[in-house]
Amino acid sequence: MTTAWDAIVIGAGHNGLVCAAYLARAGKKVLVLERRDIVGGAAVSEEIAPGYRASTASYLISLLLPDVERELELARHGYQVLPRNPSSFTPLPDGRSLLMGPDAELNRREIARFSARDADAYPRYEAWLTRIAEALEPVLEDIPPELLPLPANLRRRGFLEQWRNLRRALRFHRSLKTLGDDLPTALELLTGPATPILERWFESAALRATLATDAIIGAMAPPSAAGTGYVLLHHVMGVAGGARGVWGYVEGGMGALSAALRRSAEHAGVTIRTGAPVAQIEHIGGRALAVRLASGERIAAPRIVSNATPAVTFLQLLGADALPAAFRAAAERIDYSSAVMKINLALSELPDFSCRPGKDAVGPQHRGTIHISPTLDYIERAYADARLGEPSREPVVELTLPTSVDRTLAPPGHHIAQLFVQYAPYRLAEGNWDERAEAFAERCIDAVGAYAPNFRASVLHRQVLSPLELERRFALTGGNIFHGAMPLHQLFGFRPVPGWGDYRTPLRGLYLCGAGAHPGGGVSGAPGRNAARVLLQDS
């Protein structure tokens, strides 16, 4: 069949744009179809009130692969990261606070005010995490090997695929081997809970709680749950913030990254259509043939790449007869548990923290992520409410003020505040999020106001995105920002389902390129880059 396109990419989220750009740079004619009127998926900047722009969903950068940044020439297309120093501020109920960042001497001084032992241990902890991250980064950036003897009804591989899988398995083994004596503790980090690891390293409640937030971001789990150790590691992998694990702001908000990706893709020859929602993937004889838009328009291509969640791709865009029963059953079992809310605020002034006063000029307490979660027990209690289907009575809040370093987002003297909140369970025991979102937002503003008394009065406008609204607006199944939860059984070769971690699907010609594929969530570009590599192998 002759078509105008070599490949169609469903969804112009950042991974879809990355995938399209790599395909086009390899000489393919690529069409990207985006249901919204803007590109970027959850990495967008939007006006929340006249003159105020916020990173609506995703709000910080660190995980973006340096190879993606370099190979797609993103700096040339307007992408710029604004580093944060300090990068973390934790106010405490007793009037103390903890500042941390890339400055080793600042970290030593700040931690020593709580524990001299912890101040000595923290550089060793960072070095340990760095060794593990550097050993595993090649694994996370590679196409994952399949290491299990799966039954033929889940996956049958030809000789060439088996050979490629063996080579990937050898690379995986070599990466693990570089861990040496760190291998036992690395395995604990990859599979176990974050709490015992943090408690073994540190005695200070403030330091433990500050570090524990990285282990729960986006997860419907407390730090005491198995698998949160990997989430902790996942959030310290990247270097796009200027140093390992130090997240930065994109100048102009996260939408500026997506705009740079769009320019890079279009420069390579990609055609992007917005306002073009895909309603169906058509197939015959076990092969994907075309997409049909909600308007009824049919567009054919021999390769179709979905940047949507696995649930949308496999259970909505495809009919029940498109996939083998065992694969479809596995896709139906994917866990999308999530408990996050995003609140974007326009402020008339900076928060004035009681423990570190000052609102007339940006101070170190304003530049980084502000953690409203003073202890591990506080986080556990917040989760316990969500487990019962109730928004946390005392929510865990990560507050960022991008205007502390980026003055392009708000009028002079005014600011943007972004609250990433846990735990807000997608499924409520009583009522629904359309009824309860505003009341929970009030609770979150009060949680910040307990440490910065001027905060509530400074709020001029607000945008509240409940888990349900995140699903509606960004097609994030269950409101899950990672396109699926990230416990061990949904990682590596098990993502999206066991046996299909290589971006292919049982429907020939159909591929996944979103965060529902390896290595998972975060603005990394790795799924998009890897999916393009696999598609080009098959072309």
- 413 and 454 within one domain: yes
Q: With CA atoms as reference, report the closest residue to 74 among 268, 245, 234, 279.
A: 268
Residues making up the chain, counted from first to last: 539
14 in any annotated domain: yes
- What CATH code is carried by the domain that includes residue 317? 3.50.50.60
pLDDT digits (tens, 9 = 90+) for 218-257: 999 999 999 999 888 877 777 877 777 778 999 999 999 9
Share above pLDDT 70 across residues of the chain, in percent, rounded to a whole number: 99
Confidence of residue 51 (pLDDT cuts 50, 70, 90): very high
Q: How many domains does the chain have?
A: 3
Phi, psi of 92 (to 5 degrees): -125, 155
Confidence of residue 1 (pLDDT cuts 50, 70, 90): very low
pLDDT digits (tens, 9 = 90+) for 440-470: 999 999 999 999 999 999 999 999 999 999 9
118 in any annotated domain: no
Here the tokens at position 63 are 């995980």
Torsion over CA: 507, 510, 512, 516 (sign): negative
Q: With CA atoms as reference, report the closest residue to 466 among 426, 439, 428, 521.
A: 426
- 300 and 369 within one domain: no
- 138 and 203 within one domain: yes
Phi, psi of 45 (to 5 degrees): -115, 130
- 432 and 368 within one domain: yes
429 in any annotated domain: yes
Boundary residue ending a domain (431, 450, 474): 474
Here the tokens at position 329 are 């059953």
463 in any annotated domain: yes
Q: Is the pLDDT of residue 316 over 90?
A: yes
- 325 and 342 within one domain: no
221/338 Cα distance (integer angstroms): 9
What single string gives the DSSP state of each residue in 340-395?
EEEEEEEESS---BTTB---SS--HHHHSEEEE--SHHHHHHHHHHHHTT---SS-
Here the tokens at position 441 are 């937002």
Boundary residue ending a domain (458, 474, 490): 474
453/341 Cα distance (integer angstroms): 22
Boundary residue ending a domain (234, 269, 285): 234
Here the tokens at position 275 are 């306002």
- 466 and 341 within one domain: yes
Phi, psi of 51 (to 5 degrees): 90, -5
- 497 and 449 within one domain: no
Q: What is the pTM of this model?
A: 0.95
- 291 and 260 within one domain: yes
Instruction: Give the count of beta carbons closer than 10 Å to the beta carbon of residue 51.
Output: 12
- 342 and 458 within one domain: yes
What single string gives the DSSP state of each residue in 310-323?
HIIIIIISS-TTSS
Beta bridge partners of 100: 88
- 205 and 194 within one domain: yes
Q: With CA atoms as reference, report the closest residue to 268 among 41, 18, 35.
A: 18
379 in any annotated domain: yes
Question: Across all residues in the chain, what is the average pLDDT?
Answer: 94
pLDDT (mean) for 22-44: 98
pLDDT in the model for residue 377? 97
Here the tokens at position 305 are 């790449």
Cα separations (Å) of 317 from 208, 312, 334, 509? Answer: 44, 6, 16, 15
Higher pLDDT, 152 or 88: 88
Structural contact between residues 403 and 45, judged by C-beta atoms closer than 8 angstroms: no
169 in any annotated domain: yes
CA dihedral angle for residue 138, residue 141, residue 142, residue 143, rounded to 10 degrees: 150
pLDDT digits (tens, 9 = 90+) for 398-435: 999 999 999 999 999 999 999 999 999 999 999 999 99
Query: Which SS3 state, helix, strand or coil, does residue 277 take?
Result: coil
386 in any annotated domain: yes
pLDDT digits (tens, 9 = 90+) for 361-406: 999 999 999 999 999 999 999 999 999 999 999 999 999 999 999 9
Structural contact between residues 154 and 323, judged by C-beta atoms closer than 8 angstroms: no
Domain that holds residue 162: 128-234
Task: List, in order, residues 6 or more apart from 457 with CB less than 8 Å away.
Answer: none
519/140 Cα distance (integer angstroms): 6
Task: List, in order, residues 6 or more apart from 416 with CB less than 8 Å away.
Answer: 48, 52, 53, 54, 344, 345, 346, 347, 401, 402, 403, 409, 410
CA angle (125, 480, 196) in 5-degree steps: 30
178 in any annotated domain: yes
Three state DSSP letters for 446-514: HHHHCCCCCHHHHEEEEEEECHHHHHHHHCCHHHCCCCCCCCHHHCHHHCCCCCCCCCECCCECEEECC
- 226 and 157 within one domain: yes
- 341 and 331 within one domain: no
- What CATH code is carried by the domain that includes residue 457? 3.30.519
Here the tokens at position 481 are 């920002």
